[in-house]
Amino acid sequence: MIRFWFPIIILVLWALSAVIGALVTLNPYDIELMHILTPPNAQAWLGYDDLGRPIFDRFILGATTSFVVGITVVTICAIVGTAIGSFSAYFGGWIDLLVVRVIDVFLAFPGILLAIALASVMGPGIENVVIALSVVGWVGYARLARAQVLSLKQREHVRAAVALGVAPFGVIWRHLLPLTLAPLIVEVTFGIAGVVISEAGLSFLGLGVQPPDASWGSMIRDGSRYMLISPHMVLAPGLSLVLVVLSVNLLGDRMRDHFDVKRRPVER
């Protein structure tokens, strides 16, 4: 029971923080010199950073950044990758061969290194982070969708639809994609965790969100210089990053067990 509710509670809090950051007026850019490196207190729940800015407000802004980037990148990658992999497997031939070769090329490079290279070429900024992570992230969905469609396209109901003259797009949309949703949904959950980590890593390196905007990765970078005297600068974004990624992975494991019929107990 704890394993089921813990990730859901953490992810709901993450989403609520993102909504609060988008709708509520905060003061993440206000500089108060008299509060530089002030630890948490009743007036500032998470204290102040090295410039005298409230860490709580910047923490909420960082939650909004990670949530928006994670959902946007995963949505783009899932749609593009699923479409490419499904059409490649259905039509086969030189189209499938070309897609497989492109996937092999992308898989030959570590995804995060390729994202760092793309972000370096395009320049820092949240828009370029989304583009860089989307360019390298669609491959996993394409490979998964291709494998699923290859195993499904010879089934009786699919062959019957083809014999009745249903267009290829209709066959893929109505008869193949619904059967591939379960593994793709699981892939989406793990993909969100990967994107959140990647966005934080790029921001930590200075290739993501730029000052004065906030990201959990940039907050960890700024606070790493004051770990011995003001560890509170790192604790909030660091622990939140760990909890969000852990919760997404736990939810993904739960969904994988739910959709995997081989792991379900046999009812008698």
pLDDT for the residue numbered 3: 64
d(CA 196, CA 112): 12
pLDDT 10s digits, 146-193 = 999 888 888 888 888 888 888 888 888 888 888 888 888 888 988 999
pLDDT 10s digits, 141-158 = 999 999 998 888 888 888
d(CA 27, CA 12): 23
Taken in order of first residue, the domains within the chain and their CATH numbers are 70-260 (1.10.3720.10)
Average confidence (pLDDT) over 219-230: 89
Give the percent of the chain with pLDDT over 90: 29
d(CA 135, CA 110): 13
Average confidence (pLDDT) over 226-240: 90
Higher-scoring residue by pLDDT: 252, 56: 56
For tokens 């959709």, the residue is 259
Could you tell me if 73 and 130 are in contact, meaning their C-beta atoms sit under 8 angstroms apart? yes
Nearest in space to 255 (alpha carbons), one of 188, 176, 179: 188
What is the 3 state secondary structure string of 123-156? CCCHHHHHHHHHHHHHHHHHHHHHHHHHHHCCCH
Is the pLDDT confidence value at 266 over 50?
Answer: no
Give the percent of the chain with pLDDT over 70: 95
Average confidence (pLDDT) over 21-25: 80
